[in-house]
Amino acid sequence: MNQNRLLIVGNWKMNLNVQQASILVHRLHERIRIRRDIELVLAPSMLALQPLSLQIDRRKFRLCAQNAYFVDEGAYTGEVSFSMLQDLVHYVIVGHSDRRHKFNEPLEMIRDKVAAAIRNDISPILCVGETAEERKDGETKQVIHDQVTTALSNLASRDVSKVVIAYEPVWALSNGTDYSHHEIPTPDIIAEAIRAIRHNVSELYGPTAAKEMRILYGGSASASTARGLMESEGVDGLLVGGASLNYQEFSGIVDAAYRMQTAISGEI
């Protein structure tokens, strides 16, 4: 694990209105304690970002947008730009499989979004990962290569450390179904994919950038599977979908991270 700091991100997707989002944050505040070696990030709907920015204890949580448009302003009806989010969020999710597959976002658009995030001082959480069919056809490494190298190709070396990558095999995502019964990859599958990602980053920006890159795992993580997933080789944290909507599950994931960090640091 890099830097000995875990990053856990809750992606609420298109769920919870502003009031429901506020209640969830209230419950999480009650249950979750601050720990310096765990960074917690919430990605509510665009609409809830502003009110939650006034509600959250910033020592506990950072905010993340789920998407943004790569042009800073102009005639793009319905879009919100990275520059509009600048003072509101630390992170933006880019290249989520929902965006790639349901909204047909091409590799080049994702590259432009990564660049726009960096330009506006926001860290992109770049999601990459293969579909079930691509895995079956032996294309996993090629898919990851194409997604990583295109997305990172317009960056200056000094900006690469601001990027977080999430390995999210599309076949492991719960898609809002029962995440606790969904298939999750073995630690070996996760470790192999993450090695491939670091290799691609190394080819572009060198071994130090690759080693320091924070890489998350995402796909049907729950309180009961979190520790094993976080202990998989190369994993620096989790991107959590379905389970992040349930305060007991999400705080259970954070508890697992606490226990893991406590064990690593040798605290009693």
Of these residues, 96, 105, 134, 182, which one is catalytic?
A: 96
Q: Which stretch binds ligand PEP (CB under 6 A): 23-31, 131-139, 171-179, 188-196?
A: 171-179
- Binds ligand PEP (CB under 6 A): choice among 22, 174, 200, 251: 174
H or E stretch at 125 = strand 123-128
Q: Does 11 bind ligand PEP (CB under 6 A)?
A: yes
- Binds ligand PEP (CB under 6 A): choice among 16, 64, 170, 173: 173
Of these residues, 130, 168, 182, 249, which one is catalytic?
A: 168
Other CB atoms within 10 Å distance of the CB of residue 108? 13
- Binds ligand PEP (CB under 6 A): choice among 65, 240, 254, 256: 240
Q: How far is it, in rounded angstroms, from Cα 52 to Cα 29?
A: 12
| Angle made by CA atoms 209, 67, 140, in degrees to the nearest 5 | 55
Total residues in contact with ligand PEP, by rule CB under 6 A: 14
Q: Does 218 bind ligand PEP (CB under 6 A)?
A: yes
x/- site string to ligand PEP, residues 70 to 109, per CB under 6 A?
----------------------------------------
Q: Residue 23: helix, strand or coil by DSSP?
A: helix
Q: Is 168 a catalytic residue?
A: yes
Burial of 164 (0-12, 13-18, 19+ CB in 10 A): buried
Q: Is 249 a catalytic residue?
A: no
Other CB atoms within 10 Å distance of the CB of residue 221? 31
Q: Looking at beta carbons only, is 59 or 102 nearer to ligand PEP?
A: 102
Q: Does 242 bind ligand PEP (CB under 6 A)?
A: yes
| Alpha-carbon torsion (65, 33, 227, 14), positive or negative | negative
Q: Residue 65: helix, strand or coil by DSSP?
A: strand
Residue 164, beta-bridge partner list: 125, 214
Residues 6+ apart with CB under 8 A from 188: none
Q: Does 179 bind ligand PEP (CB under 6 A)?
A: yes
Write out the DSSP string of 158-199: GGGGG-EEEE--GGG--TTS-GGGS----HHHHHHHHHHHHH
Q: Does 220 bind ligand PEP (CB under 6 A)?
A: yes
Q: Which stretch binds ligand PEP (CB under 6 A): 39-47, 63-71, 134-142, 240-248?
A: 240-248
Q: How far is it, in rounded angstroms, from Cα 56 to Cα 63?
A: 9
Shortest reach from residue 166's CB to ligand PEP, in Å: 7
x/- site string to ligand PEP, residues 14 to 53, per CB under 6 A?
----------------------------------------
Active-site positions? 96, 168
**Residues binding ligand PEP (CB under 6 A):** 11, 168, 173-174, 179, 218-221, 239-243
